Each structure stands twice: as structure tokens, then as C-alpha cells.
Chains A and B, each alone.
Chain A
């Protein structure tokens, strides 16, 4: 971590991304009755489980086809079949969400065909669950891509044609359970039926149980996903997403569904844009409760503006999340000196400039960045705060820059699943957290001991 060479390293050092199958497992966890299943070696499932449990602190069972050397030589068909049978026997899932690992992709397993064969062979004996498949080789894209590929696969394999229905479909992006709960609440307040796909708020932030549940309650029911193509409209909360990855675009192409796309609603401006979309779809004004929250948020911005103005921040995380954070930071007078992501959409700069037009065009905006590169870039820029996931702690510690923990993962605090970022309420929480931290720094950076700040 001590190197300051500015050289371009071939190796990725302290990655600012995870592999695609993790994102797919997260998405599958948001489907009701679904068990995620990784087609590959046992370690992939186990590592990803551990990584996610350390953030969500909830059960996160992921099945594996547990490849051995024979599977690599002869293909993973037999292990996949065995695995599916055992999952059905043990978990009795309504849905199995298969994501492929780099190994299965590299040896050329045709999982779609395997699934078809499995279904036609087993159908007679048992009532089979839905078996979905997303192709998520970890050598293309990051966990954020894996999430999107899985959402698109879920929609691709479940949505069917039929008569139109009056409801809103929402693709929320990789956000926290608290964010999903807040989205549910505000969509409820707009008074039109809705479906969030996927919704892991209950499975990944649930109560203590009396009996163990093989699969945690909650998640989006398959029947709701089935009718997405017939929704009044679908809203996709994404900025950097490409057309070919987009579930909404797929619905548009296949069912001519009305599609609205707006960035993650982080900060007032991004949230306003989202509310305008909801007003347009439902024909209703923003509910009083949210208008009230917006008003109080602006009041807080005013009360705290001097503490935030001109303070330098470095932002990192998934690309869409960084776009949202940049928009939020710029609207409260913080000055992003670096925006970085491990993702590589090719659109990060363009999307940040659109969402946060006041950002200095000379600001380094890095795609495909790792934490070593982020560290080297910020060293001369001396930000006052780092804002991003807990993997930034190493950097925070070595540079002495406080870290505001947001997004995923947060492995060193308990609040990860409950941290709210979206909507006016999310912006309020973010603003309070940032402002409190800056006030604390101000209080503690002198010997006087001011008791009023």
C-alpha cells in the first residue's frame, strides 16, 4: 500500500470489484422461494456465501455442482443433474437460479441445454421448480454485471405475453435491503400496484426464527415477474447499464413495454427525476409524506451547508452507485476529487457529467480501478473523506482519511443491510452522516474542545 509510483500495473492490486457470480447469487436471492446454484467448483459457492454473510449477517445458502477433476474432463452435466436433484430433495425450492462460474464457461458446458434435458427427464417423476440460468463468467465484467445479467436472465426466462395490467415494474439495481424497503414504501404511497425485481429485502434482512426455514421468506414471486411485460410501465434504476444487459430493454423489445430509465435516486436531483417518472406513470402528484421529507431534507442541507462546502471527497464502488454519490455530493457542495469503480462500462464519465454537471471536468474518473490505483491517485489530492464500501478501510487507515461506509460490502460495521441511500430519506441519512463526520473532524482537529460546532 506504500507504493506511489503511478505506474500502470498489470496485476490488479486490492480489487475494487468482485466476480460476476456473486452479483447473480444476490439477484437470485431476491426471487421468492429461489435457491441460488453455482455451476462450478465448491469453493466459489463457499467463498461467495462467506463474503455475503459477513455483510448481510443472514443465511445465504448457495448450492454448487461441486466439480471434481472428472467434471472438468467430461463436462459438468452429471454434477449439474445430481446437484439439481439434491437441491430439489433437500430444499424443495420453487425456483433454482443457476449461474455459471468461469470454469464451467471455459470447459464449454451448455447449461441451457443441460437444463432442458434435465427438465424433460425429470418432469414425469416430480413437480419441478422453475430452473433459471444466467451466464456469468467471472472473466467478463464484475459483480455488478453479474447482477444485471441475472436480472435480465430472470426476466427473459419468466416473462410471458398476455393482457396488460395496471402495475409498475421496478428494476432497483444493486441496492441495500433498506433501500428496497424504502422503494416499496414510496411505491405504495403512489397507490399503484408494483413489483420490484429482484427484492431481497426480506430474505437478507429478516427476523429471528422459531423454526429454521430452508429458504428464507420473501422475494419477488415468480407470477409477478411473469407479467412484467404487461406492466403499465417498467422503471430501471441504472445509468451505466448497456442495452444488451438491460432487462427493461428486453421487455421493450419483446412486449413493447413502456420503459423509463433513471439513475439510482441518490440525492435530491436524482430522486426528483425518479418521482417525476412515478408521477407520470401513475398520474398522481408526489405523496405529501415524501414532499415533506424533501422539504426537511432541504432544510437540513441549508443548516449544514457550511460544513460541507468545498470539502474534498473520493468516491468508489459500483459504477451506478458512484454516479448517484457524485450527484449527491455535488449538490451539497462537496467536491469529488476522484470517482472510481472496478467496473468497466465505458460510460462512467459520461453518466457522472450528466448527473453532476457542476463537477470539475478535470476530476479523475477511473473505470477498472483497484484500491492501489485509487490510493496512488488520491495521495496528492488529499481528500477530506472517502465515501464507499468497507474495502476502502485499508486505504483509509494508511492515508488517515476517514471513511464513510456506504453500499456493498460493509464487513466491519453491523449496519450494512440497514443503510439507506435512496430517496429523500436516504439522502437525509447520507447528509447527516457526512455532516456529522465533518463536524466531528472539525471539533477534534484542534485543542480547544469547542462544545458548540
Chain B
């Protein structure tokens, strides 16, 4: 029998907190050879801009980056669906040698003529800068020729992790913001930033705000439209979800247009309610606050009895949570508590030291906190902590399943809305359907128990 003990890599030890004094480091470049679950800058840019449904998204580079992101997320659109098409300049060896500028120009002109988008985003991949293609110049040229925004996204993969890609995407978005002629703010209005409308989640959130009498100017980028983004500067406040995918855009809006921002999470009863109350508080409007109360009361009155049977089965079960951004982890810890479950392993790809310190305070003592972890570390702690459920994305799924542990996808591939009050119920159902499945009795870990 092979020795299958998993030890932490020496250089990773300070990105893992297993108890005792908090002494973590974070926000480091992934360790080569550690099999990070992180992706690259390109991925970050693609994630943020992808849901803009009336733009074409053109990947300038060899084919892989476009193939792997074709229709990758369930970011829904209420209208056009250009974002679900995959376009690539599919660079060949001769393009690498002689440069890909003319190919990119031809590709863009043809695609714009054919698909009539409201804008085009052009993503630079790793080799584009290296071979010296001037993507910005080509974009400017096509923009003049075609009369729509053609925006170069500075998304070369090697430039960093997803976070750098987020910044590049925000820079690209900011080129569109404010291009609407009207400048004045719209009363009682917000932008919903940092939600991608997976499984239609933005529609749920938007409806809550509208029931409170709030006007939603634009959603970035879920169910996104170029003309709405042009007007983003007219909202009075930005509600920013997630650990910062569009935080930079919010900062730019504040700097340039004086729009303040509030952070929000729409997962779980507590965080969802807070997201509504915070907006009412921001507008300092008693009527709006009463409306928020009414929305929450109605929704929670429906939700709690529906949750009860799931809670009964799930009480005392243990969970591991690993996500892209750290902000979501906090919501998940709270949501799982609502279901009577305890988080014993928690981490994220891109959290900060402060995030992890707060997380270690929020979680029960002894909870393992992981930054930029990898399959071996996850497997080690899932096994050691004897978890019943893993919450993560597709890359984490086989780790859970191989060890006979339930799994809930809280990432790209979710098809059920998990945000909002209704989302909490869907979440409970999804968790329940995995944790309570009879199939685990056959897994070696549970066999004979």
C-alpha cells in the first residue's frame, strides 16, 4: 500500500490556519507546482464582462482561451444572447511570427457587420503583448470605422490572478460609463454591481429593491446592456456584491461622479435582509424602510416553515467551503448556520489577511482557514475534519465525491438561483439533496458505519 499521508508544502504553511494564534499571509502569487485552484487575469476579465449580452466578446489569441470560456456560465439575459457565442482570432504560428493585428482587424470588422453588437470587447491573451500586437490601436481603428465602442481588455493571463483581471475589466467598463448624454442623478436609484445573474439571481434581487420603491439604473454585469452601462453614473449609490470583482469600478464611479457605494451579499436570510435595509438607510427614507421590512417579513414568513424540514435533517452536519472571493464565504457560514450546520474548513482563492482574520473570528474555534489552496490540502482537511458537505466549484467537486462527501456547486454551474430569500430555500434543497442521498452508504468512508 502506498503511503498516502498528505503533508503541507513548506512554502504554503502560512497560508493555512489550523488554530492557535492567527498568523496568516495572503494575496501572494500562486506557488508554482502547488496546483492552485486559481485561474488567471484573463479569467477574471472574462468573468466580469461575459454577461454583457448585447456585446460581442472576441478573444485575441490561440484557440484554447476562447474554447474553455464558451457558454461557460449560466449568466442569463432577458434579451439578446450574443455573450453566449465564442469568438477567437484563433492565432496560428504565422500570426505569432508576423503579428496578429491585421487578422484581429478583419475579424472584428466581419463580426460587427454580421452580429450588429452594441459594443465589442477584445481580450488580450498571454502571447499578444509578447509578440507586440497593438490591440488598443486596432480597437480604436475599428471603433472609428464602425461607430460602436470597441474596447481592448488588458487581460494577459500571466499578469496575475483573477483579481488583476477584474481590474482590467473595470477599466474596460469605465470606458463606457458616462457616455450617456444626461448627467444628473436619478432619484432613489441604485446600480447593482458585481452580480452575474447566474440562474436569474439579479432578477430576484432587483424585484426586492423595486418593491421597496428603489429605481435600478443598471446591473453590472448580469443581464448587462451597453446602453444601461452608459447611464451607470446616474445612480445615487452602487450596491457592490462579492469580494471586489467590480469594486474598482465602484471606486472609479465614486472618484469621477461622486457615487458612494455599499457592499452587499444576497446569500442567506441575514445578509439578504441587511442588503435591503442598508439601501433604505442610505436614502434615509422611512417609507422605504417600512417597505423593506414588509418585503423581508413576507419573504421570511414564507421561507422559514419551508426550511424547517431540511433543517431537521441537516442539523449538526459539517461543511467545508471554498470559493473564489472571500466575501461569499461569510454568507455561506451564516447560511449554513441557519440550516443547523457547522463550517469546519473555509477558504478562498483571493481573500485578504483581514478577510481571513474576520473569518477565523466568525467560525467556531478549530476551523481550518485556507488561502489559495489546492486539491491535496482540501482533501487532507475534508478527510481530517470528516465533513459531510463541500461547497465550491467544479474543480473542487471530484475531491468531495472521491472521498464520499456531498457537494453543492456555488459557482459557474449552478442552475438554481441561490441568492435572495427564495435562493436560501433552493440552497437548502440542494444541500439536502446531496447530504441526505442514500448513495454515501456505499462509499468506503461511510461503509460499515
Contact = CB atoms under 8 A, between A and B. Distances in A.
Interface of A: 1, 3, 5, 7, 9-15, 17-19, 21-22, 37, 40-51, 53-54, 57-69, 71-72, 79-80, 82-87, 89-91, 101-103, 106-107, 137-140, 142, 208-214, 372, 391, 394
Contact of B87 (A11, A79, A102, A211): A11
Nearest to A48: B68
Given A1-B85, A59-B375, A12 B63 contact: yes
B329 to A, nearest CB: 19
A86 B31 contact: yes
B394 interface: yes
Contacts of B69: 47
Contact of A91 (B11, B161, B376): B376
Contacts of B71: 394
A42 B376 contact: no
Given A14-B70, A91-B376, A101 B126 contact: yes
Given A51-B67, A67-B157, A209-B403, 10 more contacts: A9-B110, A11-B87, A12-B66, A22-B64, A54-B413, A102-B125, A103-B126, A107-B130, A140-B92, A208-B403
Contacts of B130: 72, 103, 106-107
Interface stretch (B2-10, B240-248, B293-301, B418-426): B2-10
A216 to B, nearest CB: 8
A7 B115 CA distance: 13
A299 to B, nearest CB: 37
A10 B107 contact: yes
Interface residues of B, number: 85
Nearest to A106: B127
Contact of A11 (B107, B383, B393): B107
Given A3-B114, A10-B103, A44-B64, A15 B379 contact: no
B40 A13 contact: no
B402 interface: yes
Contacts of A13: 85-87, 111
Contacts of A138: 62-64
Given A11-B88, A41-B157, A50-B68, A90 B62 contact: no
Given A12-B88, A42-B39, A68-B29, A139 B96 contact: yes
Nearest to B31: A86
B37 interface: yes
A162 B249 CA distance: 65
B184 interface: no
17 contacts: A10-B110, A11-B107, A12-B63, A12-B88, A13-B86, A19-B62, A40-B126, A41-B40, A43-B39, A47-B43, A54-B394, A63-B35, A64-B30, A66-B29, A208-B443, A210-B445, A372-B85
B63 A103 contact: no
A71 B31 CA distance: 13
B398 A42 contact: no
A67 B39 CA distance: 12
A87 B11 CA distance: 12
A372 B374 CA distance: 37
Given A59-B398, A208-B444, A212-B376, A137 B33 contact: no
Interface string B35-46: 111111111000
Contacts, number: 251
Interface string B373-387: 011100110110000
Contacts of B90: 11-12, 15
A66 B43 CA distance: 14
A69 B127 CA distance: 12
A103 to B, nearest CB: 4
A87 B35 CA distance: 8
Contact of B111 (A11, A80, A85): A11
Contacts of A213: 2, 4, 402
B66 A46 contact: no
B98 interface: no
B404 interface: yes
Contact of A86 (B2, B33, B95, B161): B33
B89 interface: yes
Contacts of B282: none
B30 to A, nearest CB: 5
B397 interface: yes
Contacts of B263: none
B394 A50 contact: yes
A21 B442 CA distance: 36
B444 A209 contact: yes
A142 B64 CA distance: 9
A3 B107 contact: no
Contact of A139 (B41, B62, B107, B399): B62
Contacts of B106: 10
A87 B442 CA distance: 32
B131 interface: yes
Contacts of B382: 212
A238 to B, nearest CB: 22
A202 B301 CA distance: 50
A9 B33 contact: no
Nearest to A81: B32
B88 A102 contact: no
A1 B398 CA distance: 33
A65 to B, nearest CB: 5
Interface string B223-261: 000000000000000000000000000000000000000
B67 A15 contact: yes
Contacts of B42: 43
Q: Please list the 8 inter-chain residue pairs (A to B) with the smallest Cβ-Cβ separation, ordered nearest first.
A: A43-B40, A19-B64, A86-B33, A83-B33, A83-B32, A212-B379, A210-B444, A41-B157
B159 interface: yes
B34 interface: yes
Contacts of B379: 212
A246 B40 CA distance: 33
A17 B161 CA distance: 26
B175 interface: no
A42 B69 CA distance: 15
B168 to A, nearest CB: 13
Interface in B12-60: 29-43, 58
Contacts of A90: 7, 9, 33-35, 374, 376
A193 to B, nearest CB: 25
Nearest to A391: B70
Nearest to A213: B4
Given A42-B30, A86-B11, A86-B32, A102 B62 contact: yes
